[in-house]
Amino acid sequence: MLYLSVGSNLNGACKPMSKRGAYQQLEPQIVIDANTNTHPQLEEVRVDMAGMKVDSRPVELLTSVGSCIGICLYDPAHKCGGLAHIMLPHSSQGPLEPLPSKYADTAVPALAAGIRGMTGVEAKLSAKIAGGANMFANTTANGLDIGQKNIKAVRETLALHKINLAAEDVGGSHGRRINFNLVSGVITVRLHNGETKKL
């Protein structure tokens, strides 16, 4: 099966960080992959807060998180993956709502089921996660560091379902924009100041 070989679509998207240029709008970029030809950026599909998407097309799933976490599960054999934007650790806490992608403990099995439903096989999945920040340091004074609780719950749930956590970029006090490339399985995490990391 031939897929477009597209380098990380955010390569080069980070403009030089001048003293005053650190907060530029995030603009779509066209990327040239040095190994092959010129490709347009993959279509970006946004996943909203408490939402979830599973896809097998050559697209990038995108979400933006602070204390929430983006959970990305990937089936590399079938180039099929899913992203859930979870808000809370456990579905047993707080008001119950039939929205599995809102909670860490229900989003992971829902994503896995979605991928298996799409590929039709019980393939081995790998996970990458990003988020869990504490944006306002003093809010922990009320006993609420929901970012850390989310991180712990996601790790535990992945272990429970025997899904390998291949990479993570979590904690801190900054938001993250997550781009999940379903062709390569690579996740690009971008901070508001333009700094990027690849997972």
Binding site for another protein (CB under 8 A): 20, 23-26, 45-46, 48-57, 64-68, 87-88, 93-95, 97, 99-102, 114, 118, 133-139, 142, 144, 146, 173-177, 192
- Backbone φ and ψ for 112, nearest 5 degrees, come out as -60, -45
Least distance to another protein, CB of residue 40, Å: 19
Q: Where in the chain does DSSP place strands (E)?
A: 31-32, 38-39, 43-46, 52-55, 59-65, 69-75, 80-86, 126-131, 164-170, 176-181, 187-190, 196-198
The distance of closest approach from Cβ of residue 17 to another protein in the complex, given in angstroms and rounded to an integer, is 13
> d(Cα 136, Cα 24) in Å, to the nearest integer?
22
**183 HSE (CA, 13 A, CB side):** 17
> Given the complex with another protein, which of 33 and 56 has the nearer CB atom?
56
Q: Residue 35 CB, nearest distance to another protein (Å)?
A: 28
Q: In sequence order, which residues have a C-beta less than 8 Å from that of residue 180 and are 6 or more positions away?
A: 60, 61, 62, 70, 72, 74, 81, 83, 128, 187
> Which is closer to another protein, CB of 37 or CB of 42?
42
> Least distance (Å) from another protein to the CB of residue 133?
7
Closest CB to another protein among residues 87, 183: 87
Of the pair 36, 93, the CB lying nearest another protein is at: 93
Extract the tokens encoding 63.
């979400």
Residue type, 185: G
Q: Please, which residue, 3 or 48, has the CB nearer to another protein?
A: 48
Q: Residue 149 CB, nearest distance to another protein (Å)? A: 10
